[in-house]
Structure 1
Amino acid sequence: MSNAKKEMMEWVIAILIGLVVVMLCRMYIATNYEVIGKSMMPTLEDHDRVIVTKLSNIDRMDIIIFKNPNTEAYVKRVIGLPGDSIKYENDELYINNKKVTETFLSSNLAYQHPEENFTEDFELEALTGQKTVPADKLFVLGDNRISSLDSRYFHFIDEQDVIGEVAARYWPLPDATINLVTE
């Protein structure tokens, strides 16, 4: 085989190996996602692009992407983990009867100047028929509570439907951030 053909074969093999590595990374390590909708505003805006890591353990207040059988994937914030009791009263979140401050909501104009409660009062049991989040389930809410279709409407999501945790926003460039606020 001539040197030119040998070099061409080496390039083809290198490119194929590179493509396989990229595909495996996207399948098992991380992928990208375009935010569709306004349910996570102002934390994430419509058409923002984010990196989603598939290796993270999901914790309370993490922003996740999960499969929805009826539409494309959703992006929401994890509020309740298995075993948690959840209640909203007078715009205050209580998890397991302890008040939880949601600092990420403070930049939302509707939250800063509410004409009514930003998050309507509810108790998990009245909403879902369950006192606590069941095993292998999560309770999720959008940061833009006024216009978010979330667990208040479709109740719990299956942990197995989680695609991954939002690790960074990379588009638009002026808003790029590595650590999104999670507290």
Structure 2
Amino acid sequence: MAKKKSEWFDWLKALVIAVLLAFIVRTFLFAPIVVDGPSMYPNLHDGDHMIVNKLNYKISEPNRFDIVVFHATKQKDYIKRVIGLPGETVEIKNDTLYINGNAVAEPFLEQQKASLKKNERYTMDFSMSDIPGDFKVIPEDHLLVLGDNRNNSTDSRMLGYISYNQLVGNASMIYWPLDRFDMVND
């Protein structure tokens, strides 16, 4: 009888530890997210299930072209790509990204831009003056983010700059559907 009680107690301990570890991992390290909508197409698809690394931006700062998840509202998280970093100016003219006046390649959009017809644009022109808020440069501890599907994305052009405090983390991996299993931000 004592052996049976001990066995049940061991199982209960193991279950409590597993639940506690899952809570810690989900709260502080990694979290799942599902891509909702076409704003990151063609690189991310509506319905892609991803893992978000919540720890990365606690120990380092975002890099240009990272795919980040952030709190857009109290109820909704968005997933976008970091384009501009604090202290920079960003402009798009004739489908070319300019950071501080220098052209910067966007390799993740090359195929889409190559498939455009003559005089078609992948991204409508914009400059810092078109971003909500009256800033000459991206403010400290803020980012300018854009969706990869530039003509169908709610991003910094409408939302304004994204504060580091809004960041949930960076997208690390697509795990579902299995045929799209891949690491991102490489």
**Residue among 83, 87, 90 paired with 1:86:** 90
- 5+ residue gaps, structure 1, are none
Q: Hey, which bits of structure 1, 4+ residues long, moved more than 2 A?
A: 125-129
Q: 1:43 to 1:3 in 2, by over 3 A?
A: same
SS of equivalent to 2:87: coil
Q: 1:113 aligns with which of 113, 116, 121?
A: 116
Q: Where does residue 67 of structure 1 map in the other structure?
A: 71
TM-score, normalisation: structure 1? 0.92
2:146 is the counterpart of 1:141: yes
> What is the rounded CA distance, in whole Å, between the counterparts of 1:42 and 1:86 in structure 2?
23
Instruction: Report the CA distance between 1:70 and its aligned residue.
Output: 5.8
What's the % identity of the aligned pairs? Answer: 37
Are the counterparts in 1 of residues 85 and 144 from structure 2 also a CA contact under 8 Å? yes
RMSD in angstroms over aligned alpha carbons?
1.6
Aligned mate of 1:176, from 173, 176, 181: 181
Q: Shift in Å at residue 102 of structure 1? A: 0.4
Q: Give the aligned residue type for 1:65.
A: V
2:75 & 2:6 partners in 1: Cα distance?
48
Q: CA deviation at 1:20?
A: 0.4
The one-letter amino acid paired with 1:112 is S
> 1:113 corresponds to which letter in structure 2?
L
- Change beyond 3 A, Cα 1:111–1:28: farther
- Superposition pairs of residues 6-85 of structure 1, within 5 angstroms: 6-56=6-56, 57=60, 58-69=62-73, 71-85=75-89
Decide whether the 8 Å contact of 2:48 with 2:174 is kept in 1.
yes
SS of residue matched to 2:33: strand
Is there any run of 5+ residues in structure 2 with no aligned partner, and where?
none
User: Given the alignment, which residue of 114, 124, 128 partners 2:128?
Assistant: 124
Distance 2:29 2:53 in 1: 6
The SS at the match of 1:17 is: helix
Aligned partner of residue 15 in structure 2, secondary structure: helix
Shift of 1:111: 5.8
Number of aligned residue pairs: give it.
Answer: 180
